[in-house]
Amino acid sequence: MNRLPLLFCLAFFTSVVYAQSGAQYITDDMSVSLRDKPSNDGQLLGILHSGDKVSVLQSLGEQSYAQIKTSDGTEGWVPTRYLSSQPAAHDRAQQLKSELDDANSKIKTLQDQLDTAKAELQKARPALELSQENEQLKSQIKAKEQSLDAAQARYDQERARRATLITGAAVLGVGLLIGLILPALLQGRRRRRYGDF
C-alpha cells in the first residue's frame, strides 16, 4: 500500500519535469467556420484559415459577427474578433523575410561592387603613381631645359665676345703685319729707285 502513493508522486513529478523541459509555442495557424447566418448554429459553408483574404460586406459589431465575401466569391458570416486589417503574422513574417532577403541580396551586390571598385583602385594606383612621377619628371625636364637655355644664351654671348676679340686680334695682327712689312717693301722700292740710298 505504501507503494501506490509513492508511484503516484513519482509519475506526477516526472510529468511536471517533462512539461517544463522543452520550450513550446502556440501555432499561428487557425481555422474559422464560415456560416450562412450570424450565429454558431448556422449552416457551415466552409473553413477559412489564417491569412485568407476576405472583404467585409457588413459588421454587426466587434463582439458579434461580420458578413464577408471570400476571394472565390462565397458570402457568409464569421465572428468579427477573427478579422484583422493586418495580414496574418506568418504571412507578414514571410513578407519581411522576403524583403530581408532582397535587402541582403542588394547589400551583397553593393559589397561586390565596392570590392570591384577597390580592386580597380588598387590596379590604378601604380598608374596614378606613375602619372605623378611622370609629372615630376616633366617639371624636372622643364627646369633642365630652362637651365640649358640660360647656359646656351651665356655660351652665345661668350662666343660673340670671342668672335669680336678674334676679329679685333686679326685686324690688329694684319695691321701689325702690314705696318711691319709695308715699310720694308716700300723702302726696298725706294732704294731701287734712287739707287740704293
Taking only the tens place, the pLDDT of each residue in 101-126 is 999 999 999 999 999 988 888 887 88
Specify whether the CB–CB gap between 56 and 27 falls below 8 A.
no
**Residue of 66, 10, 13 whose CA lies nearest to 37:** 66
Residue in this structure with the C-alpha cell 447566418, named with its chain if needed: 37
The values of phi and psi at residue 94, to 5°, are: -65, -40
SS3 103: helix
Tens digit of pLDDT for each residue in 71-104?
A: 899 899 988 888 887 777 777 788 888 999 999 9
Options 3.30.70.20, 3.40.50.1820, 2.30.30.40, 3.40.50.300; CATH for 31-85 is: 2.30.30.40
How high is the pLDDT of residue 158?
92
CA distance 124 to 116: 12
pLDDT at 15 over 60: no
Segments of the chain assigned E as strands: 31-35, 44-49, 54-59, 65-70, 75-79
